[in-house]
Amino acid sequence: MSVLSFTDARRTVELVASDLKAGGTESVPLARAAHRVLAQSVIADRDLPPFPRSTRDGFAVRSEDVLHAPTTLRVVGEIRAGADPSLICPELQSGTAVEIMTGASLPSGADAVIMVEYTSRPDEHSVLIERSSVARKNVVPAGAEARSGTTLLAPGTRLDYAAIASAASAGRAELAVFIRPRVAILTTGDEIVDVTAKPGPYQIRNSNSHSLAAQVAAAGGEPIILPIAPDEPVRLAELIALGLEHDLLLMTGGVSMGKHDLVEPVLAKFNARFRFTGAHIQPGKPIVFGEARLPKTSNRVPHPDLREGWDTTPFFGLPGNPVSTMVCFELFVRPVLDALSGTRPRPLFFTRARLASTLKTKTGLTRFLPATLSGALADTTVDLIPWHGSGDVVATARANCYIVVPPDRETIPAGEFISILLRGAEL
Ligand code: AMP
Ligand code: MG
């Protein structure tokens, strides 16, 4: 039995994760590459921008002509976005200006753009520059964002929408990405029934497999929901064996101290190495983490889609209480999924907000309590939601973050800035 502090448990997971690798790679069209992890570099195939780009509608000028405004320049033409400026104005001469649109290339000789708002037109052939300016004003020089041949995105980058834009700018219609890790989800409990079944009066619908599948998918994995395991060692062992053929096995329930909590003893038969068997947190104290291996005597032939070889598979035994399962996923499973997806584990991203009402807890555990963050940008407050403990999915579904209570705090007064963990697919 090793029960760790929250920080030590998290560090242990990150350490194990640092040895894990993604499986193979596949090529996907850019339109389906969002949230995937890049398996190759994306290199700029041209300068970005490819020409000196005007960032304003206005007049391209030689800056020495506009150091002292007001001044009048002769207008020699108009350059629209996409036009070749050399056809309109091969070389901008002193005392002249060319009308230019946002996104168009400056002509040779021009080195600044006066925005149209600072000009007026005494007549169709001239422009009055009302404000003085300097070189480079409203211009992005060719190659300023990236030189041709430089790396825009490195392997291991998780492709968010900005990274997708970067790849598109480099002309990449297809990208090599890592294959999503396959994550087996195994829920245990004699009382648990499938969501499609009509539950008996004392049965509970399986919510954990579905919340976990949603979390796995949001974190970039491919969830595979296994049949529900009864609290009976033979069938449980069969399903654990099936689960261990995947890249990661997530189990829920059966990890407490009850006499029908069989996950740990059954896992022990699979050469399990337990890294920890609990963390001083609430919810989620009985969480179990380790690696296990199918017995050598197993004659199961791995499906070609399943993980290669017969090496160890990381597993988590998550507490059965639905909110514990959800919170433990966010705190501990994500780093492992990141590593198996081919990217460095994202640190937990805490932010701070003002506590709306005084909070009282017992010391000894780091608590992650469902809460709502509300208010305008400069004045966000956070408040606990009333809940009935870690079985209360209804209240948790109404929350949008977790208040983090350090283990040494008993009372936190209203008005204090406290740590919160945001909840959302993008984190
Ligand atoms: P356990 O960790 O197995 O002792 O379960 C703790 C609590 O969580 C019990 O009230 C279970 O009924 C409940 N629970 C366990 N698994 C699930 C599940 N898959 N969906 C919903 N509730 C569950
Ligand atoms: Mg149970």
- At 308 the pLDDT is 47
Rounded (5°) CA angle 184-187-193 = 130
CA distance 44 to 191: 57
- At 21 the pLDDT is 92
Beta strands in 299-414 (DSSP E): 313-318, 350-355, 359-360, 366-374, 381-384, 401-405, 411-412
- At 184 the pLDDT is 98
- At 378 the pLDDT is 77
The protein residues having their C-beta less than 5 angstroms from ligand 2 (an ion) are 189, 253-254, 320
From the CA of 326, the nearest ligand is: 1
The closest-lying atom of ligand 1 relative to the alpha carbon of residue 391 is 8
From the CA of 288, the nearest ligand is: 1
Question: Is the Cβ atom of 322 under 6 angstroms away from ligand 1?
Answer: yes
Furthest CA-CA distance within the chain: 93
Question: Is the Cβ atom of 320 under 6 angstroms away from ligand 1?
Answer: yes
Cis peptide, bond prior to residue 85, ω within 30 of zero: no
Q: Which helix (H) or strand (E) is 29 found in, with range?
A: strand 25-29
Cis peptide, bond prior to residue 223, ω within 30 of zero: no
204 alpha carbon – ligand 2 mean position (Å):
11
- At 307 the pLDDT is 47
203 alpha carbon – ligand 2 mean position (Å):
12
From the CA of 251, the nearest ligand is: 1
Nearest to 316 by CA among 297, 294, 303, 334: 334
Residue whose Cα lies nearest atom 17 of ligand 1: it is 320
- At 379 the pLDDT is 82
Residue ranges of the chain whose pLDDT lies below 70 = 1, 295-310, 424-427
Q: How many CB atoms lie within 10 A of CB 30?
A: 15
DSSP code for 38 = B
- At 295 the pLDDT is 67
Question: Is the Cβ atom of 391 under 6 angstroms away from ligand 1?
Answer: yes
Coil vs helix vs strand at 122: strand
Coil vs helix vs strand at 52: coil
